[in-house]
């Protein structure tokens, strides 16, 4: 029922100024640039996709050129900083033609009458640019904290077993090296480290599920919140990492860098990932109904279902719908499976056997979403489709995703899952701040800055307002997770402010308004 529609009015608002105020304080653009107590001659950045410049669902050259470390390095050059080399992708589309699941960048296209993100075909096969080493930007899309210290993470052979990452395979110094080892050999005079997001993000973006495909059929099971298990080799891809694993991995990175004399740098904490557009674009009550449709649904579906569920002591799963916005029907795999009971009750009530079985199987673990629960951005491509044809619903459609047929568990985050994410983020950030203090590093509170970006007031620079609103907020790219060039400039400025505060340098901030945002057709 919910489509991603970007109106002309919303687009025009992107180019309007709000005032002459700037929310980036302590800029030093009118002061002589100095390095202070730091040495920026050999800056190396470590991290994941956010560090690499990943945006619009992939890594491509324009995004890399607007990575936040490259922006920081540009300012460092004004204070004696050296060159900053990145493992550039061979094109401006991204993706790998010879690897499934790595399409090209998202672009806005008209789809079913609405402007929506659409993936481009991958532009080239996986290449290898290791001959261009050393690279200063060691951001690896998809990397979790423990991946930075994992040997063989850049092994081409490891791609088949899931122990390697194609983005690191491209530029790793050897098949057996680690990201940390490739940083240590450079003996950076200054480093930045922003890692830990993916240790919880993959859980969140997959609705708290892991998937398995057998014989062309994909099944989804609840991902595990790892506590007490400090062996990440046993984790499934979307499990939440144990907080001690994250802390231990970050400590190993800092110890490794310290061992080669790299003692000055900056470390960032991780944002509450549920504040990003991927989780805020689609509301929990995204099902608009008029009075006639609501009455018809209550008579034909919700009424009989609620009666049957009430008989089984589960009547609170479903409530009658009303004229206006209504909760999305979701699958909650933590619920007891009442498929057999529902099928029997519906059959006994006169519903034809085949239809009763279809409804029973579909609604065995179904319920309506609750306030505070999150619909993933991916659900927007499903809501409103006919569940039997996967085509836009017609007046004759009976089972419509979200309204009269539940969306899969992988498309939403329940209250428990949201709490799991919040608990993990808090634990990770507590350790990150403690290590920043213990190792005498600059610390940047990206959690607070991203929360500010997600607020109604947003963040302003020279009169241009940025928010976390999907597409039109200016800061987030079309994947709803990663930033635009302007968003990465906001990140760069936070790092610069903290570097200046810790090391008494006077690096000037960058102007976010000079970088790119979302591209409209």
pLDDT for 45-69, tens place per residue?
999 999 999 999 999 999 999 999 9
User: What is the length of the chain?
Assistant: 521
The model's confidence at residue 19, banded by pLDDT at 50, 70 and 90, is very low
- Tokens describing residue 290: 């008029």
| pLDDT tens per residue, range 146-155 | 999 999 999 9
| Mean per-residue pLDDT, 458-469 | 94
| Mean per-residue pLDDT, 391-401 | 90
Average pLDDT, the chain: 93
> 25-29, 76-80, 164-168, 369-373 — which is least confidently predicted?
25-29
Closest by alpha carbon to 46, among 249, 261, 320? 249
Let me know if 60 is exposed, middle or buried by CB neighbors in 10 A (0-12, 13-18, 19+): buried
CB atoms within 10 A of CB 259: 10
> Measured between alpha carbons, how far is residue 494 from residues 26, 140, 323 in Å?
10, 21, 46
| pLDDT tens per residue, range 207-237 | 999 999 998 899 999 999 999 999 999 999 9
SS3 at position 196: coil
The model's confidence at residue 24, banded by pLDDT at 50, 70 and 90, is low
| Mean per-residue pLDDT, 257-271 | 98
Q: Is 489 left (phi over 0), alpha (psi -120 to 50) or beta?
A: alpha
Give the per-residue pLDDT at 21: 55
Highest mean pLDDT among 303-317, 344-358, 425-439: 425-439
Predicted confidence (pLDDT) at residue 513 exceeds the cutoff of 80: yes
| Mean per-residue pLDDT, 446-455 | 94
- What is the pTM for the complete model shown? 0.92
Predicted confidence (pLDDT) at residue 5 exceeds the cutoff of 80: no
Give the per-residue pLDDT at 2: 41
- Tokens describing residue 415: 């209250």
- Give residues with Cβ within 8 angstroms of 442, minimum separation 6: 265, 266, 267, 436, 498, 499, 501, 502, 503
């Amino acid at each position: 029922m919910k489509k991603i529609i970007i109106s002309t009015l919303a687009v025009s608002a992107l180019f309007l100024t709000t005032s002459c105020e700037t929310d980036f304080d302590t800029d030093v653009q009118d002061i002589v640039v100095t390095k202070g107590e730091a040495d920026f001659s050999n800056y190396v950045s470590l991290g994941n996709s956010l560090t690499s410049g990943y945006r619009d669902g992939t890594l491509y050259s324009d995004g890399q050129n607007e990575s936040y470390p490259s922006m920081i390095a540009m300012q460092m050059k004004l204070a004696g900083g050296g060159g900053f080399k990145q493992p550039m992708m061979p094109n401006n589309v991204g993706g790998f033609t010879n690897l499934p699941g790595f399409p090209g960048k998202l672009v806005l296209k008209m789809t079913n009458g609405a402007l929506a993100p659409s993936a481009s075909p991958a532009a080239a096969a996986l290449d290898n640019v290791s001959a261009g080493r050393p690279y200063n930007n060691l951001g690896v899309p998809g990397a979790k904290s423990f991946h930075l210290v994992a040997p063989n993470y850049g092994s081409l052979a490891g791609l088949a077993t899931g122990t390697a990452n194609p983005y690191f395979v491209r530029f790793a110094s050897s098949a057996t090296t680690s990201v940390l080892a490739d940083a240590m050999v450079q003996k950076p005079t200054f480093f930045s480290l922003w890692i830990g997001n993916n240790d919880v993000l993959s859980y969140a973006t997959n609705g708290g599920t892991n998937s398995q495909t057998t014989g062309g059929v994909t099944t989804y099971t609840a991902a595990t919140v790892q506590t007490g298990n400090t062996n990440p080799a046993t984790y499934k891809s979307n499990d939440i990492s144990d907080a001690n694993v994250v802390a231990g991995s970050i400590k190993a990175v800092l110890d490794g860098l310290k061992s080669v004399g790299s003692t000055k740098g900056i470390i960032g904490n991780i944002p509450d990932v549920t504040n990003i557009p991927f989780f805020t674009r689609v509301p929990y009550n995204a099902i608009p109904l008029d009075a006639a449709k609501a009455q018809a649904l209550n008579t034909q579906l919700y009424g009989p279902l609620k009666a049957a569920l009430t008989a089984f002591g589960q009547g609170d799963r479903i409530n009658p719908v009303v004229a206006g916005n209504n909760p999305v029907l979701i699958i909650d795999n933590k619920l007891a499976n009442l498929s057999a009971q529902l099928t029997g009750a519906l059959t006994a009530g006169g519903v034809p056997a085949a239809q009763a079985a279809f409804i029973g199987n579909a609604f065995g673990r179904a319920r309506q979403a609750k306030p505070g629960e999150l619909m993933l951005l991916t659900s927007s491509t499903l809501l409103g489709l006919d569940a039997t044809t996967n085509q836009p619903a017609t007046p004759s459609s009976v089972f419509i995703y979200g309204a009269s047929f539940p969306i899969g568990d992988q498309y939403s985050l329940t209250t428990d899952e949201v709490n799991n994410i919040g608990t993990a983020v808090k634990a990770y950030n507590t350790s990150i701040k403690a290590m920043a203090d213990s190792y005498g590093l600059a610390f940047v509170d990206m959690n607070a800055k991203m929360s500010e970006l997600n607020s109604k007031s947003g963040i302003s620079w020279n009169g241009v307002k940025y928010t976390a609103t999907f597409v039109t907020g200016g800061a987030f790219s079309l994947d709803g997770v990663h930033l635009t060039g302007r968003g990465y400039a906001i990140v760069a400025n936070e790092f610069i402010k903290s570097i200046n505060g810790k090391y008494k340098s006077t690096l000037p901030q960058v102007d976010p308004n000079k970088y790119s945002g979302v591209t409209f057709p």
